Structure 1
């Protein structure tokens, strides 16, 4: 099934702009630049951009509902554009992947990610592709919230900027061809 919607998860507002939890927004921002997308338009509780790639129209979205309520925006986006969950890829940060790694999956659980939990709750299925961007874990478990809401260190920024570029290439393959085709490229760790 063709991908027609890419949703990057994050939190709106300047104070969250460069935080680990906003990697999904960062990927959308780079994809917007790469595709010279039009926007943002305010639609379906999101900042929406419209682009064409390989002759296909694609919607790029950043929900403005805050991470833990991302499902409301995603539900509205799917309704607004009359899309099925399988026609969407969700991009988000993942504590369980080391910094510098990413994984494209066609479906699955939330893995404890509250933004993805919200999406699953609102749309009633786990069957949608997702691109998980590794941010690693903090040294102490109790520091998780503080960690995801903190910015990358200068050394980490160098790594994450390369990962974001690879994520854009990955998403372009998924849109132009298919998520299944893009998986081999996206899940290889030697291309960062």
Structure 2
């Protein structure tokens, strides 16, 4: 892995959204930066928080877009353009309401599945051929609104298991 790679964890900026289902991409990147000894810096030119790590001799750029979920592609596209990272070397990590909590699905390419963040990334990379890691956050119960569900924090029993989910993602 000598060429640079980009890992983008999608979410919403601000303390209000910390530890919400929609921000699981941010949580994964915080975990990876911690494990790999990376520090975060605000990069205005990318509209993102960025960290860098060297793993197996290659450079990994970690990106947390600060554009809000639906505009995440602006940051991902800017970083990939600046560092000349091809879409095949961009991994996007997102929440997935179609999977049960904690289930992980890695795909080399595909559609956005109605996920606005992935749609924005697809638009700015001008392709759907980029890897994505979807992490199940479950569906709302009891007729709860989808937006309220993804913007809510994890239930107590889910929060207890979140560390194990992050550990499994790290091993992928």
Distance in 1 (CA, whole Å) between partners of 2:18 and 2:40 is 18
* Contact 1:68–1:118 (Cα < 8 Å) also in 2: yes
Q: What is the Cα deviation at residue 45 of structure 1?
A: 1.1
Q: How does 1:1-192 map to 2 (within 5 A)?
A: 4-42=5-43, 43-140=45-142, 143-170=145-172
Distance in 1 (CA, whole Å) between partners of 2:97 and 2:48 is 24
Give unpaired runs (5+ residues) of structure 2: none
- Scaled by the length of structure 2, the TM-score of the pair is 0.94
Q: Tell me the C-alpha RMSD between the 2 structures.
A: 1.5
Q: What is the Cα deviation at residue 160 of structure 1?
A: 2.1
Distance in 2 (CA, whole Å) between partners of 1:66 and 1:52 is 27
Distance in 1 (CA, whole Å) between partners of 2:4 and 2:82 is 15
* Contact 1:99–1:160 (Cα < 8 Å) also in 2: no
Distance in 1 (CA, whole Å) between partners of 2:123 and 2:81 is 15
Q: How many residues align?
A: 170
- Scaled by the length of structure 1, the TM-score of the pair is 0.84
